[in-house]
Structure 1
Amino acid sequence: MNAPPRPTRSAGVTPLPTAAPRPAAPAKPAPYELRPTRRSRVIAGVLRLGMYPVIHHVPGHAMSLRTARTTVDAAAMLLPGDGRVRVRRIHDPRVEDGPDRPAVAGEWVVPREAPDGRPPGAILYLHGGGYVVCSPRTHRPITSRLAADTGLPVLVPHYRLAPEHPFPAPLEDAVAAYEWLLRRGVPASGIVLAGDSAGGHLAAALTAEIVRTGLPNPAGTVLFSPWVDLTCELSVREQLTARDPYISATAARRVARLVVGSAGFDDPRLALLAAPWTGAPPVLIQVGGAEVLRPEAEALARAIGDAGGSCEIQVWNGQMHVFQILNRLTPEASTAMRETARFVRAVTATPAPGEAAVA
């Protein structure tokens, strides 16, 4: 039996070299990792010169806070409206629920293009202000943008403020607002809780309270610069090195004593880092890289992850406290709001405004 012929090489022909693999293209940085724009740096510098000294030295007594509350609310009257949304006032005494149940009052921010009828979902937004100032009106730059970007209505309750109504009064009002949405047929799977600063603490506390009491879980929670630890231990240490252009941890500690009232810090619902996060819905945290509350936000993300939960944290390079409220002024704030809308659409499975729903 003849052996098969051996392969031969043609004379004078050199085999082609094997091409070296091309180096992988560098990964595109996330938007929150980019260097701050000049516009955001200028605004931060102006605030540090003009606002930080005032906030750092704010007295921790009721009279000064009531004056600040009046001033902030009056300034909010000058904010331009957003033509993409309608704002409706809400006041529901909830008489059918009994005299011990708090009323639900606030604003219902609705996209102008939203169809009539029961909405498929909603955002329950809890405004910031240290639990002592601000209102639904002051935070319309955020709530209007949320409604326009997601196509969902936004409920912004007037929760009770300290020092007249210390914690847990704000949490009781937040629970009442969530129940109000459920009673009106908005499915829990279509509701996203959200809040900034003290409202971020309140939104997180509401999430933990829903899990603890067995209410239907919302679809997700969004926290902008959350004030996680009202004892301010982490933020006071961070203040030694951080150049936060807006928030003073020293002033926050003074205000916190008014928020907790005579009961002190013993209420376990205040302690977000010790809350049982097992079974919580997905969470998105956005925090400025320059703010003193950053370590608190990072600690909360770790606590949720250690409990087996899903938490996406975005540390926005060089940004200040609740920079999202500047979404008409800085590109970073506008991009952060688009990132938030992406998260809301993902957890609620709702299409972007103008897109058809997938059957």
Structure 2
Amino acid sequence: MDQSVRSRAISNVLRLGVRPILHRIPGHPGGIRTARSTVDAASLLIRPGSRVRVLPLNDPQLETGRDERPVTGEWVVSRDAEGTSEGAVLYLHGGGYVVCSPRTHRPITSRLALDTGLPVLAPRYRLAPEHPFPAPLEDAVAAYRWLLARGVPASGIVLAGDSAGGHLATALAGEICRQGLPSPAGLVLFSPWVDLTCELSLRAQRGARDPYISAVSAQRVARLVVGPAGFDDPRLALLTCAWTDVPPVFIQVGGDEVLRPEAEALAEALTSAGADCELQVWKGQMHVFQILNRVLPEAAAAMRDTARFIRSVTAPAVPERSEAA
């Protein structure tokens, strides 16, 4: 479909007003903390909507008797389907591994809960530069183990994430395989930040019309994310993983964004490994456009496609539902 008038208007505003600021984000802890405080303050204005409930989660896991990582975050649950589901979406928010929280991504988690009927667990994982990789991955694994330990079947769990959260969700899928845990039902990625070295996005920077993300600023942030170990941790390198026994994967990326080549490279790597992978490139769309699903027709349509994928991979664990408006 052609880009809507509303989408073009929002892209132009971001290109002129927001992108120049993001391009100059300093790659040092002080600048990151300032950006984090600003984003956290703005997130207080985000309301989940009357059709969902947001329930806080803070479980120190003392009852296990083992040295388990605490699991904190929030559940987002559709009021229409509350208490009826046997599955869950484990959603890992984006933000370059340095900003954002479950609250900032409620427009996505709320829509997922409404459209699929599944409760959405959005864990609060540790952020860089205070906690470089693999700290976020350890927290994501703890959240997945938490779901399994509380009786949610792996066949009903879908891993999902956007941007850096897409990287984290994909790394989690690989870590689940390495640790011998039951495989989830599927993997959903919105504009995933696949290559933290930013080699692919830097090459695409000149030709891309991304109104939001700058590959240069992403590279500066990535140096803080990887910490003293650098980029040598194999869990960071998603394009060179074996990807055996990976569940079905659904990837959406904006046609104009600088991370498009990374999403395409991941889809190619997964397909070459024999995985069931569907890649959607949305013409004219920006980075994580799905977060605007309340105002953009393209974003609403993309979320409906996502819900169809989630229902298909979790069936029969999750009964078929009519699509939310």
Sort the TM-score into its range (normalised by shorter chain).
Answer: over 0.9
* Separation in structure 2 between the aligned mates of residue 316 and residue 49 of structure 1, nearest angstrom: 21
For the aligned residues, what is the CA RMSD?
A: 1.2
* Separation in structure 2 between the aligned mates of residue 301 and residue 251 of structure 1, nearest angstrom: 24
User: What letter is aligned with 2:319?
Assistant: P
User: What letter is aligned with 1:138?
Assistant: T
Partner of 2:301: 335
Q: Secondary structure at the match of 2:232?
A: coil
* Separation in structure 2 between the aligned mates of residue 196 and residue 331 of structure 1, nearest angstrom: 19
Q: How does 1:112-191 map to 2 (within 5 A)?
A: 112-116=79-83, 119-191=85-157
Q: What displacement does 1:271 show?
A: 0.2
- Cα deviation code 1:232-264 (max 9, x no counterpart): 000000001111000000000000000001110
User: What letter is aligned with 1:102?
Assistant: R
User: What letter is aligned with 2:304?
Assistant: R
Identity rate, percent: 71
Structure 2 residue 244 is the aligned partner of structure 1 residue 278: yes
Q: What displacement does 1:97 show?
A: 3.8
Q: Tell me how many residue pairs correspond in the alignment.
A: 321
Please tell me whether Structure 1 or Structure 2 has the larger radius of gyration of its CA atoms.
1
Partner of 1:50: 17
User: What letter is aligned with 1:75?
Assistant: A
* Separation in structure 2 between the aligned mates of residue 352 and residue 52 of structure 1, nearest angstrom: 40
Kept in 2: contact 1:226–1:297 (CA 8 A): yes
* Separation in structure 1 between the aligned mates of residue 251 and residue 184 of structure 2, nearest angstrom: 16
Structure 1 runs (4+) greater than 4 angstroms displaced: none
Kept in 1: contact 2:89–2:120 (CA 8 A): yes
Q: Secondary structure at the match of 1:90?
A: strand
Q: What displacement does 1:98 show?
A: 5.0
* Separation in structure 2 between the aligned mates of residue 302 and residue 113 of structure 1, nearest angstrom: 38
* Separation in structure 2 between the aligned mates of residue 212 and residue 239 of structure 1, nearest angstrom: 34
Kept in 2: contact 1:149–1:352 (CA 8 A): no
Structure 2 residue 41 is the aligned partner of structure 1 residue 74: yes
* Separation in structure 1 between the aligned mates of residue 258 and residue 86 of structure 2, nearest angstrom: 37
Unaligned runs of 5+ in 2: none
Q: How does 1:193-342 map to 2 (within 5 A)?
A: 193-342=159-308
Distance 1:295 1:98, change over 3 A: farther
Q: Secondary structure at the match of 1:101?
A: coil
Q: Secondary structure at the match of 1:257?
A: helix
Kept in 2: contact 1:104–1:180 (CA 8 A): yes
- Cα deviation code 1:248-292 (max 9, x no counterpart): 000000000000011100100000001121110000000000000
* Separation in structure 1 between the aligned mates of residue 224 and residue 277 of structure 2, nearest angstrom: 30
User: What letter is aligned with 1:351?
Assistant: P
